[in-house]
Amino acid sequence: MKQAKREAQLVDALLVARYALVIHDGMMLVGDDEPPTRWRVSFRTELERIDAALQMAGIDTQQPLRPPMLDRSDGDGDHQHDGDGVPPDASE
pLDDT at residue number 68: 74
pLDDT at residue number 71: 63
What one-character-per-residue DSSP string does 29-43 give?
Answer: EE-SSSSPPEEE---
With a CB cutoff of 8 Å and minimum separation 6, the contacts of 65 are: 15, 18, 19, 22
- Range in 30-34, 52-56, 72-76 the model is least confident about: 72-76
Cα(62)–Cα(45) distance, rounded to whole angstroms? 17
pTM of the model: 0.65
Q: Inform me whether the pLDDT recorded for 79 exceeds 60.
A: no
Task: Place 87 in a pLDDT band, splitting at 50, 70 and 90.
Answer: very low
